Amino acid sequence: MSTKTESWGSRVGLILAMAGNAVGLGNFLRFPVQAVQNGGGAFIIPYLVCFLVMGIPLLFIEWSSGRFGGRSGNHSTPYILDSMAKGRLWKYIGVFGIFTNIAVAAYYCYIESWTMSYVYHSIVGTFSDMSQAQVAGFFESYTDIAESTTGIPYEAVIFYIICLLLNTFILSKGLGGIEKVAKIGMPLLISFGVILAIRGLTLGTSGASDIFPDANAWDGLNFLWTPQFDSLTSPKVWLAAAGQIFFTLSVGMGTIHCYAAYLKSKDDIALNAVSAGFMNEFVEVVLGSLIVIPIAAGYLGLDWVIQNAGFGMAFQTMPYLFQQWGSSLAIIAGVCWFGLLFFAGITSSLAMGTPWMGFMKDEFNWSKNKGAWSFGGLVLIMGLPTVIFYKEGLFDQYDYWAGTVSLVVFAFLETVLFSYIFGIKKGWAEINSGADIKIPRIYKYIILIVTPSLLAWVLISSIPDWIDKVKDNDTNNKEWFAKEFHAENFDGEGKNSGTVVEVSANAVKFSFED
C-alpha cells in the first residue's frame, strides 16, 4: 500500500482526462471497422443495447470500485480488487487486467505512431500530386517494413519507438502530465472532428461528384444506419458489439479504476461516469461514423470498404481527400486530422500505462520514472512483433484476443465480484455516495442480473468464434474476394487498372499502371 500523495487538479481536469482515456482511436478507426465487418446496420442494435446494459453499468462499477480502493490508499487494479474481497484470487485477476493493458498498448501505440508519421508526411507534402491509388499504396509500403519506400529506412519502426518514448516521458511526469495533455488535446480534437464530419457528409452531394465516378458517400452511411434484425441472434456480432463498447469506453482493463482511485472520498461518481460515457458515445456514433466510412465509400465504393475494412482505412483515403482542397489547405487539414487522431490516441495510451505504474508502486514502491520506463520497455517487447509481422495479421490477433475477448472476460469477473462478493447492497450505496444525479433504481437490478447474465452468454456462445479465429478463416474470405474483385473504383478515376498482387490477413494489395 502506498500513501495518497497525488490527486486530480480540478473536476474539469478529471473529466477531460477520463474523456481523453475513453475517446481514442477506437472511436475514429475501430468503431467504423467493427461496424462494417459485422454487417453495418446489423451491428448497431447490439451495440446500443450493450452500451445501456453493460457499458453504463460497468462505468458505475469501475468508477466506484476505484474510488473505494483509493480510500485505503490503493492505486492499482490488483490492490483495488483485493480490497473488495477476501482471498488472493482477485488480486491475480487484477494482474491479468494489467497484462491486457500492455498487450493493447503494444498494437495501439503502433497505430498512434502512424498518426505521427502522417503528420510529418502531410507537412513535407509527400501526398501532393498522388493519385488515390498511390495514397493507398503508400500505406501498404509503409507497413511493409522490409521494403519501405517512404524515403526513410525502417520508418514504421522508428516512429513506433519515438511514440513509445513520448508516452514513457509523459507517464514519468505523473497525473499532472496526463491532465495537461488532455486539456490541450480534447478541445482541439472535438473542434476538428466536427469540421471533418460536415465535410464527410457533403461529399458526393455538392458538385464534388466528379471525384466520385460511381460511388457515393451516402452508401456508407446507409449501410451503417439501416437497421437489420436478422443477425440479432449471432453470438459473433454480440461479442464484437460488447467488445467494441468495452474497448471504446476503456472498460475491462482497469484504467478507470486507476484514474478513479485519485478521487476524493465524497466526490461524485454517478454524473461524472455518465458524462464521460455519453461524451465518448457522441464522438463515436456521430463523429466516428461521419468521417472515415462515408469518405472511403465516396472514393473507393462500399464494396472496397467492406472487404478492406481495417485500422488503415483512414490512412489510405484521407490524404487524397485533402489534396482536393488545394495544396496549402491540404497541409493544414492533414496536420489537423492526423493530429486529432494523435491526441485521441495518446490520451488513451497514457491511460493504459497507469495500471502497471500503480501496481509497481503499490507492490514495490517503485518511482514514477521506474514505473514508466519499465512499462515502455514491456510494450516495446510485446509490440515489435506486431510491427514487424503486421502483414501476417498478428496485429489483428492482438486486437481480437487482448482488445476484445480479454475485456469481456475481465468485465464479467469484476461484475461478479461487485454484485455478489462485495455485494450489490454495499455496491449500490457506493455508487450513490456523493452522487450529483439520481440514478434510476432499475440500474441496481441491471447490475445485479442483466449485466452478468448477458456477459456470461456472450462469452460462452462466442467460443466457436474463438476457434474460427484460431483457424484464421478471415484470410480465406479475402482470398475469395480478391479473385472476384477487379478494383473498379479503386484508382479514383474509374479506370479498371488494378491487379491483385497479394492477399494478407489485413488487406488485399493491388498494383496499378499510371
Contact region with ligand PHE (CB under 6 A), list: 269-277, 333-341, 345-353, 357-365: 345-353
Give the one residue of 16, 25, 42, 295 binding ligand PHE; rule: CB under 6 A: 25
Examine residue 220 and tell whether it contacts ligand PHE (CB under 6 A).
no
137 binds, among Na ion, ligand PHE, none (CB under 5 to 8 A by kind): none
Contact region with ligand PHE (CB under 6 A), list: 188-196, 245-253, 370-378, 412-420: 245-253
DSSP string, 175-227: HHHHHHHHHHHHHHHHHHHHHHHHHHHHTTTSSGGGG-SS--HHHHHHHHHS-
Which of 367, 398, 373 has the alpha carbon at shortest distance from 383? Answer: 398
Helix axes 327-364, 313-323, angle to 10 degrees: 150
Shortest distance, position 314 Cβ to ligand PHE, whole Å: 13
Examine residue 22 and tell whether it contacts Na ion (CB under 5 A).
yes
Examine residue 27 and tell whether it contacts Na ion (CB under 5 A).
yes
132 binds, among Na ion, ligand PHE, none (CB under 5 to 8 A by kind): none
352 binds, among ligand PHE, Na ion, none (CB under 5 to 8 A by kind): ligand PHE
Judge residue 305's burial from the number of C-beta atoms within 10 Å of its C-beta, 0-12 exposed, 13-18 middle, 19 or more buried. buried
Give the one residue of 13, 20, 26, 492 binding ligand PHE; rule: CB under 6 A: 26
Q: What angle (nearest 5°) sits at the alpha carbon of residue 258, between those of residues 446 and 452?
A: 20
Examine residue 357 and tell whether it contacts ligand PHE (CB under 6 A).
no
32 binds, among Na ion, ligand PHE, none (CB under 5 to 8 A by kind): none
3-state secondary structure of 7: coil
In order of 33, 75, 90, 196, 431, the CA distances from 328 in angstroms are 30, 47, 55, 17, 51
Q: What are phi and psi of 125, to 5 degrees?
A: 80, 25
Which of 48, 447, 22, 50 has the alpha carbon at shortest distance from 256? Answer: 22
> Cα(466)–Cα(236) distance, rounded to whole angstroms?
9
Contact region with ligand PHE (CB under 6 A), list: 114-122, 140-148, 243-251, 291-299: 243-251
Chain centroid, CA 364 distance in Å: 31
Give the one residue of 15, 27, 61, 107 binding ligand PHE; rule: CB under 6 A: 27
Q: Is 255 or 419 the residue whose CB approaches ligand PHE more closely?
A: 255
For cell 519499465, name the residue: 374
Give the one residue of 285, 352, 413, 458 binding ligand PHE; rule: CB under 6 A: 352
Shortest distance, position 355 Cβ to ligand PHE, whole Å: 9
Shortest distance, position 233 Cβ to ligand PHE, whole Å: 27
Site for Na ion in 219-248 (CB under 5 A): 248
Residues near ligand PHE, by CB under 6 A: 21-22, 24-27, 247-248, 250, 253, 255, 348, 351-352
